[in-house]
Amino acid sequence: MKVVIMLVCALVLSGCSQSMRIPEIDREPTLMPRGATYLDLTSLPMPRGQVFVSVYDFRDQTGQYKPQPNSNFSTAVPQGGAAMLTTSLLNSKWFIPLEREGLQNLLTERKIIRAAQNKQEIPKNHGDHLPSLMAANIMIEGGIIAYDTNIQTGGAGARYLGIGMSSQYRSDQVSVNVRAIDVRSGRVLLSVTTSKTILSQELQTGVFKFIDYKDLLEAELGITTNEPVNIAVMSAIDSAVIQLIVDGIKTNMWQLNTSSDINNPIIQKYLNVTQPII
């Protein structure tokens, strides 16, 4: 009987361990993974003309910090929102972002070039003429406006004769807002708010059983999966940029290169999006 119980426990634990793949320590760096929305972003039909836009900042406006035992200075969402938004605008091929977040560094570098030109020295990697910086037609503003934790939690488990398994899940939600502003008038032309759910899951199995008078068998195995917050934020930004483009097409702010592209499945998908009511 003792041998049978040991074999059953070994089979249960080995089956669970086979479903878990421990990441390799020496994995090489890769490009940051993107969500499914990225495919929609890069598959949009081409515009009649790209729009020059500027992104000064895309701040974390949530005020949320990671729960203990993390540091009191560890924020719940990434602080590189401007870089993410700039990447998304570039990937869409509808906009030409102009550098504004590091504007002071750019101006300093241009001063160095002009100082060399004033001394009748032409930098080898620059011509004798330094053109003016380009101006944007549209300014993109916004930020990460909400991060809600434990929106939904739950789990299930069962145990029989000291052998059992349990699972738990938790869902959080991050929301971002993206606005398009007319530089000449300051008028807010478009405003889009999108949300993305962040899912965390935990699976545990274990054995706790006396197999003899003084022989206690105890074993545990578990795995936890947390969706990266930066990927969720990036997906929410990608979705907001697509919705911004589609809303601009509806209001004739910008136009498709070919009018028949309005029937593109991706355009139709976001044209028919409705605001959920809870």
- The position carrying tokens 């936890």 is 224
Q: What is the pLDDT of residue 140?
A: 94
pLDDT band for position 136 (50/70/90)?
A: very high
| 3-state SS string for 92-154 | HCCEEEECCCCHHHHHHHHHHHHHHHHCCCCCCCCCCCCCCCCCCCEEEEEEEEEEEEEEEEE
- The position carrying tokens 């759910």 is 197
- Give the pair of three-digit tokens for residue 170: 């938790």
Q: Is the pLDDT of residue 177 over 90?
A: yes
Q: What is the pLDDT of residue 218?
A: 72
> Which tens digits make up the pLDDT trace of 93-127?
999 999 999 999 999 988 988 888 777 777 777 77
Q: Is the pLDDT of residue 142 over 80?
A: yes
Specify the pairing of strand 138-160 against strand 188-210: unpaired
Q: What is the pLDDT of residue 212?
A: 66
Highest-pLDDT range among 102-106, 199-203, 221-225: 102-106
What is this structure's pTM? 0.82
Contact 166, 154 (CB under 8 A): no
pLDDT band for position 151 (50/70/90)?
A: confident
Full set of structural domains in the chain with CATH: 2-18+36-100+136-153+168-271 (3.40.50.10610), 103-135 (no CATH)
Average pLDDT over residues 243-256: 93
Q: Which residue has the higher pLDDT, 161 or 240?
A: 240
Cα–Cα distance measured from residue 11 to residue 199, given in angstroms and rounded to the nearest whole number? 29
Q: What is the DSSP string of the chain?
A: -HHHHHHHHHHHHHHHHHT--PPPTTPPP-PPP--THHHHHHTPPPBSS-EEEE----EE-S--BPPTTS-TT-BSS-S-HHHHHHHHHHHHTSEEEE--TTHHHHHHHHHHHHHHHHTT---TTS-S--PPPPPPSEEEEEEEEEEEEEEEEEEEEEEETTEEEEEEEEEEEEEEEEEEEETTT--EEEEEEEEEEEEEEEEEEEEEEESSSS-EEEEEEEEEEE--HHHHHHHHHHHHHHHHHHHHHHTTSS-BSSGGGGG-HHHHHHHT------
